């Protein structure tokens, strides 16, 4: 059957598996829920990885022995302790050859052909990492607000900021904002007061991360409070990227800054990007922002090909992109 590789990308909200032949043709894909073990535990994380893999293999109509290499890129694979635990769990799958990296490394490979530079992941949460030409890898953040991550960075944090800002503005503790109309409407209420009372009566302490979309839309409509929140997120991402650059010590200019995760890949909000860029450039760095069109799982596919010494030509990349768009249109 030739050389077949599989990439598996697991994060805080979803897990994707993609099986690709040696020419870059997608022959199978799978999808499941969260596989960040720090969020839902190792047992549930492994179950979701298995579900995504099984779906992809069923679509490809192949067996475990047909796959030449599997590259896992999982959120939560941050420290040696995490990696040991995850490797022990993943070893229960009957694949002959495989490797595990933190999901940040998928994004770096996807956006940098040399696999060097800085990658910022901004999905449900955030993370920053980088790799230089000597192979040194560093990570900044990814462990939550208590351990230094910025407030309002990541989809879940943006959702909280949208909700609490609507409350604060309604109570005249903040500047006026259209969020006081759009947030209750999103949840099916006619007014802030109705939503406020009902949520308190129900003991609501969390809001869906999808509320970040409402914030983005409000900013694009010129809402100053929403713009301020998104600029702050861009600043936090910029500070994390600057940290990675300083800690790596040597990177060729211009430094590729790869942005992955749904918040930046789908949102592409100019307030976020301009704020991020300004923070890094104020440190004197020459950079190039890169926002890949394909999902991070394809970074895992490329890393798997690298492990086998398979060249990734422009034709292969085009085949991957074409195949993914085809699958997306069918979904």
Structural tokens at position 245: 């650059």
Taking the CA atoms of residue 75, residue 138, residue 143 and residue 124 in that order, the dihedral angle to the nearest 10 degrees is -40
- Residue 122: band (very low, low, confident or very high) from pLDDT cuts 50, 70, 90: confident
- Beta-bridge partner residues of 259: 120
Which domains, ranges and CATH numbers included, belong to the chain?
4-96+295-330 (3.30.420.40), 105-178+206-292 (3.30.420.40)
Q: What is the distance between the alpha carbons of residues 287 and 276, in angstroms, rounded to a whole number?
A: 11
Q: What is the distance between the alpha carbons of residues 257 and 13, in angstroms, rounded to a whole number?
A: 23
Q: What is the distance between the alpha carbons of residues 12 and 35, in angstroms, rounded to a whole number?
A: 6
What's the pLDDT score for residue 200?
Answer: 98
- Residue 195: band (very low, low, confident or very high) from pLDDT cuts 50, 70, 90: very high
Tokens 């926002």 belong to residue? 291
Structural tokens at position 251: 């990177």
Mean pLDDT of all residues in 139-148: 84
**What is the DSSP-derived secondary structure letter of residue 308?**
H
Q: What is the distance between the alpha carbons of residues 175 and 128, in angstroms, rounded to a whole number?
A: 32
Helix/strand/coil percent split, the chain, to 5: 50, 20, 35
What's the pLDDT score for residue 250?
Answer: 80
Is pLDDT of 86 > 70? Answer: yes
């Amino acid at each position: 059957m030739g050389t077949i590789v599989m990439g598996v990308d697991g994060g805080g909200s979803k897990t994707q598996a993609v099986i690709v032949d040696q020419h870059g043709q997608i022959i199978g894909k799978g999808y499941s829920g969260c596989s960040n073990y720090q969020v839902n535990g190792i047992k549930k994380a492994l179950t979701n990885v298995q579900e995504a893999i099984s779906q992809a293999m069923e679509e490809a109509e192949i067996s475990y022995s047909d796959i030449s290499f599997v590259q896992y890129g999982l959120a939560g694979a941050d420290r040696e302790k995490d990696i040991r635990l995850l490797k022990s769990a993943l070893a229960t799958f009957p694949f002959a050859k495989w490797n595990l990296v933190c999901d940040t490394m998928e994004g770096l490979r996807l956006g940098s052909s040399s696999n060097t530079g800085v990658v910022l992941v901004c999905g449900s949460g955030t993370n920053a990492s980088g790799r230089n030409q000597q192979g040194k890898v560093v990570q900044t953040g990814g462990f939550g607000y208590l351990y230094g991550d910025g407030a309002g960075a990541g989809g879940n944090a943006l959702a909280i900021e949208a909700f609490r800002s609507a409350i604060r503005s309604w109570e005249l503790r903040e500047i006026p904002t259209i969020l006081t109309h759009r947030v209750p409407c999103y949840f099916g209420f006619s007014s802030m007061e109705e939503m406020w009372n009902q949520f308190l009566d129900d003991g609501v302490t969390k809001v869906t991360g999808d509320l970040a979309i409402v914030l983005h839309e409000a900013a694009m409509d010129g809402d100053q409070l929403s713009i301020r929140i998104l600029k702050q997120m861009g600043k936090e991402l910029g500070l994390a990227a600057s940290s990675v650059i300083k800690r790596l010590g040597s990177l060729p200019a211009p430094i590729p800054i790869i942005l992955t995760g749904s918040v930046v890949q789908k949102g592409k909000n100019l307030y976020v990007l301009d704020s991020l860029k300004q923070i890094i450039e104020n440190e004197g760095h020459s950079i190039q922002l890169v926002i890949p069109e394909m999902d991070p799982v394809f970074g895992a596919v490329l890393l798997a090909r690298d492990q086998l010494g398979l060249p990734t030509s422009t034709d292969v990349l085009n085949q991957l992109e074409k195949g993914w768009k085809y699958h997306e249109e069918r979904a």
